[in-house]
Structure 1
Amino acid sequence: MPPIGLTAIQIRQGHPDFLDLPWNLPLAEWEGKCKRLVQVPRGLSRHEVLFVSYGKVIYALKELPPRVAKREYDVLRGLEDRELPAVVAVGLVRARTGVEGADVEGEESGILITRFLEGSLPYRTLFMNQGLERYRERLLDAMASLLVRLHLAGFYWGDCSLSNTLFRRDAGELQAYAVDAETSELHEKLSDGKRLHDLDIMEENVAGGLADLAAMVALPPSLDVFETGPNIRKRYERLWEEINKELPIAPQESYRIHERIRALNDLGFSVGEVDLVASGEGDHLRMRTIVTDRSYHRHQLHSLTGLEAEDRQATLLLNEIQELKATLTKELNRSIPLSTAAFRWLEDRFNPTAQKLQPVRDGTDMSELYCQVLEHKWFLSERAKKDVGLQPAIDDYLELRKRQKDPSIAVLLIGGPSSPTLPRPVPPISAADGKQEPAPAPEPRPVDSPSGGR
């Protein structure tokens, strides 16, 4: 017999049935009547949102009109099918709420169930928790990159804002995820009109969100209430132009095709097709690349090692595999395949390190922890003026983690002007000559501990 109040439920395989929840009550009345309720750091929402735990997995429940809940569920499934960064839709519930008892005559509501994005942070946490200062400006690049990825895939957000975005740390950077899709649409290709309208909405919403936050905490000078949205837009436009620009190719310049593909790969984008069409300039052709997603390094790492990682994590891990490949080539006096180096790296470095890091994992993604150890190793090596090696870095990292009073809150492990640096992303290719522009000087960034939730 279904629970009181429940009229329909649709749950994907691999998740609980949620039948033990008090569906006869509005979410606002669950406090004290549902033992599964948990509190996690959260952003603002115009609708009632609660979080429930089943074992180690946390789910978000959002109450909406039934038609809106169904529409958002479908859009989120579409984002998942296109492998875009967004929360995962788990289920959809219809329930009559408001009256306790067997004869339920209350109003029917829709409840969207999504899986909580582990290790993620709402933007307010980035501003209100000590130790997260260095991530605040990275929020701009994360937002711009997210919008580019979504628009390339034909996604019109319709309500892009800081509150509708979650941020997950990614080897010292931030990876942004879409959370709210009530007003969103999926298209085969997004028109320029829709795309520009989305950017207008983003600017307005970002200003509103920061204005609300400025009334609570002091914002850093670099994040002006009215300049931050336009700043995100400028970063978006630079990246969009770089991805979508066309290059003239002369008959003897076929090498530029490979250069262009490598440049986009270095930015993290996978290239699905290359179109070459007559340009009207004599023998010249115009080259247009079709970018599919920004998961190039993630796919490459997975194919080599089977590991799942975020974009920047994958880039750093691949860099270490490439370094090991160069070392082995020198030692053996012969070239070895990258797959061989990846196998050696997995067996000799990653897996043994992961085993030693288990006591401080606290639910954090292992790829992120490993990247933190690498960053700590670079700091120790800089301080010692020599390569200290991986094992001493692991030991020192674990000792620092043990001394943390509250590992569930992200705090700085190491600070000061001599903090380590990570390589910045490969700069865009100059439209004039196809050469790389000078990379900006890397910013000092201390190692931080993982977060216990968003």
Structure 2
Amino acid sequence: MSNRLQITAASPDPALLTLPWQLPLENWPEDLLAALPRGISRHVVRFVRLSGRVIAIKEIGESVAFREYELLRQLERLQLPAVEPVGVVSGRKSIDGEPLTPALITEHLPFSLPYRALFSQYLRPDTATRLVDALAVLLVRLHLNGFYWGDVSLSNTLFRRDAGAFAAYLVDAETGDLHERLTDGQRAYDLEIARVNVIGELMDLEAGEILDSTVDIITVGDMLVVRYDELWQELTTSEWFEPGELWRVQARIDRLNDLGFDVDELDMSTDIDGTRIRIQPKVVDAGHHHRRLMRLTGLDVQENQARRLLNDLDSYRVATDRQGEDEAFVAHDWLTNVFEPAIRAVPRELRGKLEPAEIFHELLEHRWYKSQEGQTDLTLAQITPDYIEHVLAHRPDEQAIIGLDTATLRALDGEDEPDDDVIDDDMILG
């Protein structure tokens, strides 16, 4: 270990030097720490406020820290769902000159929660199923890009709400490895690790009387395998059809889009006598709805949230009889006249409850239920006060620190653009 403190980072923050690296992480002063929910970890982990953001610091062996840092950087370049690496601190020594364990630093993922925190919030009985579904999607995306995880579990994953479902993010890559392509055996072994770990974690929740007693734990674990296999087959399997069935090419693309994946290229060929055509997605990328919404509005949200917002945008287009108008112009008006007013109507002290896109999704859900209940069509403006009073006000805060796109910030703060370098005190919890 080096005799001097060394910080390795792609974009080093000078404020990192002000942290008390001469102290073991478990002894860091409370005034530096952010009181955020932590998952189970083999290592000491702390959340720390730094330069208007929150970072996660994990004490871990030097070689493992550098390896995980590089893996997370590669996942970031591949645009895969994982925590963002900040750097590695090595050469730490105590005040008495004793060596201290190096530390890996990552960005805290805003509005994310470990699975145990989610179950402690008295969610619906199908929460376990929805988390496993999100984990299956994450695992497929990683495997498609050649990443072998090696320790797939709910504990090594963070979850963000996504229009009634969840989006999963890898948070621990120390056992992972990146290959050009995974073999079927590597995928199967990773999936079996996931199944066993998930079953064990749910049993632990059951023993602590946290998990709903009606949940069949073994079935939920097996569902992870089923969901993974279904998604993998849809994304990678070849399909044969007759020359007169060319419509099935677009149907296959539409199915993949509905799953949230884009097809960059299709490999098409015929059999020997030319009577049948074979198609296979050659390059598949996730985030179809997210990219469309981002292009139209600038909103950077989860995939299911994007799908829900786009549906409302399409409804707005029909309601205003503007089907023949340029989609970008209609999207701008929807953002200005529908989304932004709805978000600004939420009191500032309640905006840390959920992400803005999730609040908008819940507003749409609340409007539907209230319209059904009263047998009349209600506007968002009419139901927003009721939603705020009876739903949002009773939700736990899930915001750690704001890290939102420009369009959402404009929705929150009106026409005045916020200074990117300034974060209000009431935007930080803990």
- What TM-score does the superposition give when structure 1 sets the normalisation length? 0.82
* Match of residue 278 from structure 1: 270
CA distance 1:291–1:315, shift in 2 (3 Å):
farther
- Structure 2: how far apart are the matches of 1:221 and 1:281? 58
Instruction: State the Cα deviation string for residues 329-365 of structure 1 (Å, max 9, x = none).
Output: 3xx6x62232232122112111222222252212742
Which amino acid in structure 2 is aligned with residue 365 of structure 1?
Answer: E
Cα distance, 1:60–1:264 mapped onto 2, change above 3 Å: same
Is residue 231 of structure 2 the alignment partner of residue 239 of structure 1? yes
Partner SS, residue 130 of structure 1: coil
2:342 matches 1:342: no
Partner in structure 2 of residue 249 of structure 1: 241
Give a deviation string over 1:88-126, Cα, whole Å, max 9, x none: 1111110333x314xx2x235321111111211211122
RMSD (Å), alpha carbons: 2.5
Question: What is the aligned partner in structure 2 of residue 75 from structure 1?
Answer: 71
Q: CA deviation at 1:238?
A: 1.1
Relative distance call for 1:28 and 1:44 in structure 2 (3 A) is: same
> 1:279-428 residue pairs with structure 2 within 5 A?
279-280=271-272, 282-329=274-321, 335-359=324-348, 360-362=350-352, 364-400=354-390, 404=394, 407-408=396-397
The letter for the 2-side match of 1:335 is G
TM superposition shift of 1:292: 2.7
State the shift of 1:253 in Å. 2.6
Query: What is the correspondence of 1:59-208 to structure 2 with a 5 Å cutoff?
Result: 59-97=55-93, 99-101=94-96, 104=97, 106-107=98-99, 109-131=101-123, 133-208=125-200
The answer to whether the 8 A contact 1:24-1:95 is kept is no
Quick one: structure 1 residues 187 and 16, their matched pair in 2 at CA, closer, same or farther if it must change by over 3 Å? same
Q: Which segment is superposed worse, 125-134 or 177-186?
A: 125-134
The change in CA–CA distance for 1:407 and 1:227 in structure 2 (over 3 A counts) is: closer
For 2:137 and 2:302, the matched residues in 1 are separated by: 14
- Structure 1 gap segments, 5+ residues each: 411-451
| Matched position secondary structure for 1:315 | helix
State how far apart, in whole Å, the 2-side matches of 1:367 and 1:15 are: 30
Over 3 Å counting, the alpha-carbon distance change for 1:198 and 1:29 in structure 2 is same
- Confirm or deny: 8 A CA contact 1:76 1:181 kept in the other structure: yes
Distance 1:303 1:145 in 2: 24
Q: 1:277 and 1:29 mapped to 2: Cα distance?
A: 64
Distance (whole Å) between structure 2 residues aligned to residue 264 and residue 6 of structure 1: 52
Instruction: Describe the shift of the 1:402–1:62 C-alpha distance in structure 2 as closer, same or farther (beyond 3 A).
Output: closer
| Counterpart-to-counterpart distance in 2, 1:88 and 1:22 | 22
What fraction of aligned residue pairs are identical, expressed as a percent?
40
Ranges in structure 2 where 5+ consecutive residues have no aligned partner? 400-427
CA distance in 2, matches of 1:258, 1:44: 45
Q: 1 CA distance for matches of 2:195 and 2:109?
A: 25
- Match for 2:336: what amino acid? E
1:326–1:183 distance in 2 versus 1, CA, 3 Å? same
Specify which of 195, 198, 217 is matched with residue 209 of structure 2: 217
Give the superposition deviation at 1:190.
1.7
Residue identity opposite 1:77 in structure 2: R
2:251 corresponding residue in structure 1: 259
Task: For 1:296 and 1:241, locate their aligned partners in 2 and report how far apart those are by CA, in whole Å.
Answer: 19
2:410 corresponds to which residue? none
* Amino acid aligned to 2:84: V
- What SS is found at the alignment partner of 1:292? strand
1:56-100 Cα distance to aligned partner (Å, 9 max, x none): 521110111111000101111111111111111111110333x31
Matched position secondary structure for 1:72: helix
Quick one: structure 1 residues 199 and 222, their matched pair in 2 at CA, closer, same or farther if it must change by over 3 Å?
farther
Cα displacement (A) at 1:153: 1.5
- The Cα shift of 1:281 comes to 6.0
How many Å apart are 1:256 and its aligned residue? 1.8
How far off its partner does 1:207 sit?
2.3
C-alpha contact (below 8 Å) 2:353/2:392 kept by paired residues = no
1:128/1:217 contact within 8 Å kept = no
Equivalent residue number for residue 25 of structure 1? 23
SS in structure 1 of the partner of residue 104 of structure 2: strand
